[in-house]
Chain A
Amino acid sequence: SAVISQKPSRDICQRGTSLTIQCQVDSQVTMMFWYRQQPGQSLTLIATANQGSEATYESGFVIDKFPISRPNLTFSTLTVSNMSPEDSSIYLCSVEDGGSSSYNEQFFGPGTRLTVL
């Protein structure tokens, strides 16, 4: 199974600033996903990031607000730009491990808890 780390684990930021979240995987993976989860709520997909191509964003999420980089098969970043209190949430990266016994299993990082004041 893939092991995923995220940095930072949590942060408190001021309105109008930006934060870049890093996601590191211990193996090469094709598909990486970024989700947002507000406390007590479900996970909402922000975008899908494939190495070597532009990220694909879901409805309601735009590249200017959530730019994503995917420079190689083990790493990705998500930036939350020009933050407002509504961006306070947990941000999780996820990968699909093609080497796992179950094709359809996704692994999640521990999440980044963001609070915007």
Chain B
Amino acid sequence: GQSLEQPSEVTAVEGAIVQINCTYQTSGFYGLSWYQQHDGGAPTFLSYNALDGLEETGRFSSFLSRSDSYGYLLLQELQMKDSASYFCAVRDGDSGYALNFGKGTSLLVTP
């Protein structure tokens, strides 16, 4: 089976940096993805890591360590609009490679 653990809530100040961690257990690993979801909206893709290391996309970066079954999403120069839920997800090879999501981290950015 698969399981993913991430913090349930994080609060940070506008302009700050926040890191959302994700640890996973999976029988077959096909990469770690991150999705953002605003209240009432659909999840949208942020980043994907298949290999160890850091991937940077603008203000967002994602890191993966396969040996530690661990990854994180780093959000820099936080803006109020970054307040949302963030999900890490792994692919389930037994389910047509559908995404299996963590429980999500609710990020609140305060002034």
Q: Interface residues, chain A, CB within 8 Å of chain B?
A: 31, 33, 41-45, 48, 50, 56, 58, 92, 94, 96, 102, 104-111
Q: Interface residues, chain B, CB within 8 Å of chain A?
A: 30-31, 33, 41-45, 48, 50, 87, 91-92, 95-104
Assembly CA distance A62 to B21 (angstroms): 33
Residues in B whose Cβ lies below 8 Å from that of A110: 41-42
A-B Cβ contacts below 8 A, count: 57
* Apart from A31-B98, A104-B31: 7 A-B pairs, beta carbons within 8 A: A42-B104, A96-B97, A104-B33, A104-B91, A105-B33, A108-B43, A110-B41
The contact of B48 among A31, A43, A105, by CB within 8 Å, is: A105
Name the distance in Å between A37's Cβ and chain B's nearest Cβ. Answer: 9
Subset of 13 A-B contacts with CB under 8 Å? A33-B96, A33-B99, A42-B101, A43-B43, A43-B87, A45-B95, A45-B98, A48-B95, A58-B95, A96-B97, A104-B31, A105-B45, A110-B41
